[in-house]
A and B are shown apart, each in its own frame.
Chain A
């Protein structure tokens, strides 16, 4: 394999990486992988890599050519001085030396760079399965969340007196006046918002005794399930990327004998309570309806 092919391979690698980042960013698949703060960086990197792929070909096309000119020159005759005046010292002026990088090892690098990534793009379901959720440990109280804030995946809790548009209006208004609601007037909340109610009395009062609509994945409850009729409603809570996401859960009181579709997405509507179990306050929704739903576009909470 000659240097021209290896140069082309470098450029193709950049193009593929840039293309994958752009594809995930533009198609919305990136939502499952990255916190919103990191998504613009991924998209910019995608564009930059595509541009770099072309720029690299330009940068290596007009330099001194010879048999081993992947970087526009070779290093064999310039040990006594810079390979290009003022641009550094051989053999590192272009980041490599030809003697130390056989074509075979460079092809191996390209395989490492491309194959696992392409295989992962094809294989990834963009969500974690049962075993990883179990391995990471399901969090059911605020202590397990560290210092994380309430959900920012969609409808977040506004400040008292703050309207949906973020403008402060009636200073006497309470939070519950502005909580997002569904068509039936039930409060729409995220799993993590309810978990905040286990520690924060003000938030708890807004939810306790009210009918709540909340979406998540079904998971068998092995603890805090005295009658055997509860399941956990789980969402993954992400800090930066999916690799650090942890499952957070509330408990749902179901009808006796009702089926738990493990990992199935459901929308639960029911009355919220915050009982103390084994010394810890937990969230329990007494379900009136449980309906299967599609996986949300933003399946992670942040």
Chain B
């Protein structure tokens, strides 16, 4: 079937606003949290809270979403501030990538969406692969200098190596509130700008492209997996609802739907821009390519499973 694109400004506007209306409350929650973290969490507190053993710390952060669930939009400003409070970059990456998948809301929505399509297996594999890939990304970045991954503005936030904590008297509560509000506002405007750009692109594609063009690809495991990951990237769905969309692609194998469900929450059009407020552009592109290849290979290998 030939590729077709039909642009309707009205449909685009409708889809664009709905993405924003759904995403903004979560972005606001995330940025209020980031303001509170910045104003009230002592510097280097994360270093003290996490296990000293780096491997254990990354594994712990990979599963942190079960206790502190965040969606993919809200987590980005939080991660930026946690890095400023001493959260190691590898741990931050593991938490950022895993929490949109390894969280209770997603477990329930995936189970509900796949009723009659091996829901237990789908939930287990989604969480297991999401956790494993996020943790692997954390390990892979462990030895890379932060300046090659983080953008300049986030580098400026990082606590300086070997520098003692500021001995100045603690500021008044009111001053902390003021500082928190300034940070929350700045973060909100930053993140929302990238969300707007991402929502523009996502709406262009999810209203303009004929989604049936990928249906003939369902028979080939490689093509099915690649096309479902491509679709997840283009549609930029929220991880709490994406399972309901994935489940409707009945001609596709369970493994290719799994690829959709693991890749989408970690990397899509809107995230491509949102990640830019924390990471260097080159790193974001490399991360996207790495996730695409690794998740794709895992899911193609799982294609023989009966689901």
Contact = CB atoms under 8 A, between A and B. Distances in A.
Interface of A: 10, 13-14, 17, 21, 24, 30, 32-34, 38, 41-42, 44-45, 48-49, 52, 55-56, 58-60, 62-63, 71-72, 81-82, 84-97, 100, 109, 112-113, 116-117, 119-121, 123-129, 131-132, 134-137, 139, 143-149, 239-244, 246
B237 to A, nearest CB: 6
Contact of B16 (A30, A32, A116, A132): A116
B14 A125 contact: yes
A91 B186 CA distance: 13
User: Which of A89, A90, A97, A139 gathers the greatest number of chain B CB atoms within 10 Å?
Assistant: A89
Contacts of B192: 17, 113
B181 interface: yes
A78 B190 CA distance: 23
B17 A135 contact: no
Contacts of A84: 171, 175, 179
Contact of A147 (B32, B114, B157, B235): B114
B115 A147 contact: yes
Given A71-B186, A137-B212, A239-B241, 16 more contacts: A10-B186, A59-B185, A63-B178, A85-B170, A86-B171, A91-B156, A95-B182, A123-B13, A124-B17, A127-B14, A132-B207, A135-B209, A136-B211, A143-B250, A242-B14, A243-B202
A86 B38 CA distance: 10
A144 B175 contact: no
Contact of B10 (A63, A124, A239): A124
A38 B105 CA distance: 14
A100 B21 CA distance: 30
B19 A241 contact: yes
A85 B18 contact: no
Contacts of B237: 240, 243-244
A21 B192 CA distance: 14
Given A72-B182, A92-B84, A239-B244, A59 B207 contact: no
Contact of A71 (B22, B112, B182, B208): B182
B18 A62 contact: no
Majority secondary structure of chain A interface residues (helix, strand, loop or mixed) = helix
A13 B14 contact: no
A139 B211 CA distance: 13
A139 B249 CA distance: 11
A137 B10 contact: no
Contacts of B177: 59
Given A21-B24, A92-B153, A128 B240 contact: no
A14 B251 CA distance: 45
Interface string B163-201: 000101111000111110111111111101100110010
A123 B13 CA distance: 6
B17 to A, nearest CB: 5
B243 to A, nearest CB: 8
A240 B241 contact: yes
A186 B284 CA distance: 58
A242 B18 contact: yes
Contacts of B238: 240-241, 244
B63 to A, nearest CB: 25
27 contacts: A30-B21, A42-B21, A42-B24, A49-B28, A85-B166, A86-B166, A89-B156, A91-B153, A93-B38, A93-B179, A94-B182, A94-B186, A109-B193, A113-B196, A117-B20, A121-B13, A124-B13, A125-B13, A131-B8, A135-B209, A146-B117, A146-B247, A146-B248, A147-B119, A242-B15, A243-B22, A243-B235
B288 interface: no
A86 to B, nearest CB: 5
A237 B159 CA distance: 49
Most buried by A among B176, B208, B245: B245
Contacts of B113: 146-148
Contacts of B55: none
Given A17-B24, A91-B156, A241-B19, A124 B14 contact: yes
Closest 9 CB pairs of A and B: A146-B247, A95-B186, A85-B168, A92-B157, A242-B18, A240-B241, A41-B25, A147-B115, A120-B13
